[in-house]
Structure 1
Amino acid sequence: MNINSTVISGYQALNDISYLLKDKASALLVTDKNIEGIPAVQSLIGQLKQHIGRVSVVNSVPPEPSQHDVAAILTALPARDVDLVVGVGGGSVLDVAKLLSVLCVDNAPSLDALLAGEKPTTRTTSLLIPTTAGTGSEATPNAILAIPERETKVGIISPVMLPDFVALVPELTTSMPAHIASSTGIDALCHLIECFTATVSNPVSDNYALIGMKKLFASLETAVAEPHNLQARLDMLWASYYGGAAIAHAGTHLVHAMSYPLGGKYHLPHGVANAILLAPCMTFVRPAAVSKFAQAYDLLPDADPALDDEAKSHALVAWFTALVKRLKLPASLEELGIGPDHLPYLVEAALDVQRLMKNVPAAVSANDVRDVYLTLFPSHQE
């Protein structure tokens, strides 16, 4: 899958984007109310209004949006014929912006048709600007929606949704609270290590994953501790982008398959669900991916080159466990008030995500999934 987006990056990279707005008569900016108030976003809106005759703003995208949220946004749009869709926000906002870019064209499939598997064939021009460093949505062909009736999430996937332009602007991420920077950073890490070890990994996705992990390992904790460290924040934006690009060329697997039910039924933030599952899932995957775990371990700033591959693979899992703890993220479902009586549902729902389960580099049974979930209930382990 080719990613043909033009990437603009760096401090104040949005100060003048008039060259992107030529010949545009109408624009739709998709964001949320918190992001809309950031000075740099207000400046962006000002540029759009200065150069484009009709500008609409959608600021009602909720976290973990459902198909009903997108349908409501579509219904409320003053007009669907727009020349440019600009998404500014976290992964949820960018996913909705990508969907609107294919729904706001003549003869577009309906949202229900997209959910049923129909593929879009065209979209309007799009610019995606992440304000968190985790989902990599700006580099993936995916849009993830919650389906409340099924208590899970589904992915609408098409390369047509990849944007024309991406802007990686570190000052837009400095207002992220530490817990959001931590959980979204872990989401990026999951994208990178899962794609790197997936059955569908390949030299292209591996290169993206290795570059992204090197940046993430060196910058995540600094970015969380020093929110105004623009270099660390930019490195995390690039790590997240590389994670998205790895997804576009390979795919995630066990962590994401098992986290979908946690988001769909219990509405856990995606990054938090991934943080809880990261070490337990990688413990299961490790024996089938020793060499790749060793390669990832070698990218750690404090890696010990004297270790053999087996020892490195164990050390990487231990580092993941310690990282989640250092970032003060939950390490069990019990901490969040979810008990082991939910195990049967969780196992069935995770196994139902076959799109991702088929990417796991080891055979996965229902008992395997149950055993991994069971580690998230420390006081109830058998």
Structure 2
Amino acid sequence: MNINSTVISGYQALNDIRYLLNGKAKALLVTDKNIESIPAVQALIAQLKQQIAHVSIVNNVPPEPSQHDVAAILSALPSRDVDLVIGVGGGSVLDVAKLLSVLCVKNAPSLEALLAGEKPQHRTTSLLIPTTAGTGSEATPNAILAIPEKETKVGIISPVMLPDFVALVPELTTSMPAHIASSTGIDALCHLIECFTATVSNPVSDNYALIGMKKLFANLETTINQPGNLQARLEMLWASYYGGAAIAHAGTHLVHAMSYPLGGKYHLPHGVANAILLAPCMRFVRPAAVSKFAQAYDLLPEADSLLSEEAKSLALVDYFTALVKRLKLPASLEELGISPDHLPYLVEAALDVQRLMKNVPTAVSANDVRDVYLTLFPSHQA
């Protein structure tokens, strides 16, 4: 899959997008109210209104949107006749912007048709501007929607949704609270390590994953401890972008398959669900991916080059466990007050995410999935 997006990046990079707006008559800006209030976003809106005759703003994209949320946004649009869609926000906002870019064209398939598997053929021009460093949505062909009736999430996937332009602007991420920066950073890490170890990994996705992990390992905790460090924040935006690019060329596996039901049933934020699952899932996968785990370990700033591959792979899992703890993210479902009563449902729902389960580098049974989930309930383990 080719990613043909033009990427602009750096401090105040939004000052350089005027040329992208030339010739556009009707723009749709997709965001949420918190992001809309950021001064740099207000400046962007002013620039849009100065250059483009008709600018509509959707500012009510919720976290973890459902298909009903997107349907409501569509029905409230004054017009679908737009020639530029701009998404400014986290992964949920960018996913909705990508969907609107293919739904706001002539003869577009319906949202229901997309959910049923029909592929879009065209999109309007799109610009995606992430304000979190985690989902990498700006570099993936995916839009993830919650399906409340089934208590899970589904992915609408098409390379047509990849944007024309991406802007990586570090000052837009400084408004993130530390817990959001932590959980979205772990989401990016999951994308990178899962794609790197997936059955569908390849030299292209591996290259993205290795570059992204090196940037993430060196900068994630700096962005938490030094919120104003714009260079570290830009590096994290690139780590997130590379995670998305790795997804576009390979795919995630066990962590994401098992986190979707947690988001669907308990409405856990995606990054939090991934953080809880990261170490347990990687501990299960490790024996089938020792060499790749060792390569990832070697990217750590504190890596010990004298260790054997086996020892490096074990040390990487230990690093994941310690990282989640240092970032003060939950390490179990139990501490969130969630009961193990729903284990049978969770196991079945996770196994049902076959598009991801087939990427796991080892065979996975229902008992395996149950055993991993059980580690999230320490006091209920046999």
Shift of 1:84: 0.2
Q: What residue number does 2:20 align with?
A: 20
Which amino acid letter does the alignment assign opposite residue 312 of structure 1? K
Cα distance in 2, alignment partners of residues 265 and 44 from structure 1: 37
Shift of 1:240: 0.1
Query: SS where residue 176 of structure 1 aligns?
Result: coil
1:78-117 CA-to-partner distances (Å, cap 9, x unmatched) read: 0101000000000000000000000000000000000000
Which amino acid letter does the alignment assign opposite residue 126 of structure 1? S
Cα distance in 2, alignment partners of residues 227 and 109 from structure 1: 42
Which amino acid letter does the alignment assign opposite residue 338 of structure 1? I
Shift of 1:255: 0.1
Cα distance in 2, alignment partners of residues 347 and 309 from structure 1: 32
Query: SS where residue 217 of structure 1 aligns?
Result: helix
Which amino acid letter does the alignment assign opposite residue 235 of structure 2? D
Cα distance in 1, alignment partners of residues 181 and 230 from structure 2: 13
Cα distance in 2, alignment partners of residues 220 and 41 from structure 1: 24
Q: What residue number does 2:182 align with?
A: 182
Q: What residue number does 2:120 align with?
A: 120
Q: What residue number does 1:205 align with?
A: 205
Cα distance in 1, alignment partners of residues 17 and 318 from structure 2: 44
TM-score normalised by L of structure 2: 1.00
Q: What residue number does 2:345 align with?
A: 345
Q: What residue number does 1:257 align with?
A: 257
Which amino acid letter does the alignment assign opposite residue 91 of structure 1? G
Q: What residue number does 1:140 align with?
A: 140
Residue 85 of structure 2 is aligned to residue 85 of structure 1: yes
Q: What residue number does 1:129 align with?
A: 129
Shift of 1:339: 1.1
Which amino acid letter does the alignment assign opposite residue 185 of structure 2? G
Which amino acid letter does the alignment assign opposite residue 36 of structure 1? E
Q: What residue number does 1:309 align with?
A: 309
Q: What residue number does 1:31 align with?
A: 31
1:286-338 CA-to-partner distances (Å, cap 9, x unmatched) read: 00000000000000000000000000000000000000000000000001111
Shift of 1:248: 0.0
Query: SS where residue 211 of structure 2 aligns?
Result: helix
Query: SS where residue 153 of structure 2 aligns?
Result: strand
Which amino acid letter does the alignment assign opposite residue 188 of structure 2? A
Cα distance in 1, alignment partners of residues 17 and 176 from structure 2: 24
Once the two structures are superposed, the pairs formed by residues 350-365 of structure 1 within 5 Å of their partners are 350-365=350-365
Which amino acid letter does the alignment assign opposite residue 217 of structure 1? F
Q: What residue number does 2:61 align with?
A: 61
Q: Which stretch has the larger CA shift, 335-344 or 124-133?
A: 335-344
Residue 106 of structure 2 is aligned to residue 106 of structure 1: yes
Q: What residue number does 1:230 align with?
A: 230
Shift of 1:342: 1.2
Q: What residue number does 1:169 align with?
A: 169
Cα distance in 2, alignment partners of residues 40 and 309 from structure 1: 46
1:41-66 CA-to-partner distances (Å, cap 9, x unmatched) read: 00000111000000000000000000
Query: SS where residue 371 of structure 1 aligns?
Result: helix
Cα distance in 1, alignment partners of residues 82 and 139 from structure 2: 22
Residue 70 of structure 2 is aligned to residue 75 of structure 1: no
Moved over 2 A (4+): none
Shift of 1:168: 0.2
Shift of 1:227: 1.1
Which amino acid letter does the alignment assign opposite residue 171 of structure 2? E
Q: What residue number does 2:246 align with?
A: 246
1:182-231 CA-to-partner distances (Å, cap 9, x unmatched) read: 00000000000000000000000000000000000000000011111000
Structure 1: gaps of 5 or more residues: none
Q: What residue number does 2:48 align with?
A: 48
Shift of 1:16: 3.5
Cα distance in 1, alignment partners of residues 83 and 46 from structure 2: 17
Cα distance in 1, alignment partners of residues 136 and 145 from structure 2: 16
Query: SS where residue 329 of structure 1 aligns?
Result: coil
Which amino acid letter does the alignment assign opposite residue 231 of structure 2? Q
TM-score normalised by L of structure 1: 1.00
Query: SS where residue 329 of structure 2 aligns?
Result: coil
Residue 3 of structure 2 is aligned to residue 3 of structure 1: yes
What is the total number of aligned residue pairs between the two structures? Answer: 382
Cα distance in 1, alignment partners of residues 58 and 337 from structure 2: 34
